[in-house]
Structure 1
Amino acid sequence: MEQYDALKRAVGRADACELLSRAFAYPDDVLVAALVEGALADDAQSCLLDMGASISVAGDSTAGLRSWAESSVADVLSEMRKTYSRLYLAPGGRTPIFPYESAFLHVSMGAPGAPSLFRTPVTLDVEQCMREAGVVAKNGRKEPCDSVQEEFEFLSYLFAQQAEAIRTENEEALTSRNEQAQSFLRSHALAWLPRFMEQTCDLTDGPYAALALYASAILAHLSDEK
């Protein structure tokens, strides 16, 4: 039973991070259809429950994702793309919230000048963490590897590997993957993603505020498990 519960929690963490990786990539009709049809909210709630959250916490954290039931996919997609571009992609150094760890921290610390997006100490360390875990960023040459979606995707991979180690009772692999996940959470994800989500909620409402509230619940849960 203890092994089953540990496996369930690891799978829940992996699935939640995969969901958030998709949610904070540039929106497409697949994501929006899942939002409108309620599948995204159902999956999001299941992830939290699998992670060990209470029914009330899981319900409260995903309630906002059910606000677009029966809405037009085309209308919601158009609005989400406008919001995403306004919040995260505004050009010329006027981006309200940078979706990259290095640039986000540069602004948060009040560092002078425009932030660099590639080959910074942060991006180099993220690359190193990925290499040590046996993966590389999908679009490393076109987009910084320390993006919201890439960091969540990497965490999803690490938690999926944890789940496999639990399933096969490979204690050595489990210890290694646990250490990699906790190190990456401590050094990178938890150093900026909670504030990224807070700022998203401050600057918008609608789907991205609902997604950010859900992400905040996931990150809080991961932080408690450190």
Structure 2
Amino acid sequence: MSISTYTERPAAKISEIDTLSVPWSRPRPKRAGVSARLVSALTILALLAAWTVSAELQLVSPVFLPSPAAVWAKLVVVARDGFLDATLFQHLTASLGRVFAALIVAIVVGVPVGLAIGISRIGRGVFDPLLEFLRPIPPLAYLPLIVIWFGIGEPSKILVIAIAMLAPVALSTAAGVRGVSRERIDAARSLGATRGQVVRHVVL
């Protein structure tokens, strides 16, 4: 097709263009969607039903898969009478106390490490290899060494949990530092903020 024949084509009328309809611009009728909570509840009920049927038919030994009724009865007994000279509430309090103590230790150590990795190249060069070495190791692998060094008391238990939390806390902090808007940092520096003020007031 030549240019002349292309330019000689009559222009489409505005009324004709207006009457054209775009398929994806048509309003679609709203469908009554299924609630996510309903799907979750049905999933849990289906799992409980499968668990009950498997226990009743003894597809798996009751030692490895007891029935839901047996689990509930044992829970009531442990909550009422306790286990190993302690109630269920005491066991729960002790476990949560260790977890929160380890979380505090991981935050106190991991947040400055993550800031150093995200802000400084030297910090990234120092701490990145250590975290990448520590992160893939499961806590049970270094548990014997910690028991040998620190004994079998509460400090060793808290330390194992804290080491398991340290890498995620530090790497998440470093990712948050790298995700800070560059425009905000430049704006703070243009207003005369020092490096420490940028870290304290913008990054943190």
Normalising to structure 1: TM-score of the pair? 0.24
Of the two structures, which has the highest relative contact order with CA contacts closer than 8 Å and spacing of 6 or more?
A: 1
